[in-house]
Amino acid sequence: MARDPIQRRSKEKKRKIIVAGMKLFSEKGFHKTGIVEIAEEAGVSVGSFYGYFLDKKDLLIQVSQAYGSNIIRGIYGRITEEAPLSGSSHEIVKYIVDSARQAHTLSTELHREMLALKNREPEMAKLDKSITCSFQTGVESILENCRDRIKIQDIRIASKLVTGAIEETMHSCFLEHSEEPKDRIFEELIEMCTGYLFKPTELN
């Protein structure tokens, strides 16, 4: 019966467990990390663990949510507000790509693990979706805000496509270690997306 931490001490303990989980899931993966280990890392007893979390999966979900909300709040959350809408289409797309880039620099290893589990655990999938979605929504509203310079009809689908392409490129750049220079790849990515989304600039 996971209790809701009311006192400060409790909250602190729960936080410690989440941090420990984040660290260990990242380092060793979900399946290879044991509860005892997590408790030790958090400086907490096994019993306490079950005071705050239903089971190991529950911890994973909360760890991922913490990670996810970091990304969402920290980066995608502000994507709309700070977008350089007055800039060139190239600049706008570059801003979007850079945002994603920042998000993925955060904690590659944990992301890896989340990805590894989202296909089996519905909670995980939901979370992943909400992260992606928040990115997608951000892009959508940016595009909405410069609808007159936009070429494509269905902003929804276009956003999906573009964010998908960006995400994938991030993964292939950060999780696998491709030989191609990252910067060249990102440039091309921006090129592709700009060309797809925006009307050609007059004087180009």
End-to-end distance of the chain based on CA atoms, in angstroms? 63
Q: Which does 35 bind (CB under 5 to 8 A by kind): a copy of itself, DNA, none?
A: DNA
Q: Does 151 bind DNA (CB under 7 A)?
A: no
50 binds DNA (CB under 7 A): yes
Residue placing its CB nearer to a copy of itself in the complex, 15 or 37:
37
What track of x and - describes contact with a copy of itself for positions 88 through 127 (by CB under 8 A)? ------------------------xx-xxxxxx----x--
Binding to a copy of itself by CB under 8 A, coded x per residue (else -) over 159-188, reads -xxx-xx-xxx--x--xx-x-x---xx--x
Which residues would be at the binding site for DNA (CB under 7 A)?
3, 6-7, 9-10, 13, 32-36, 44-48, 50-52, 55-56
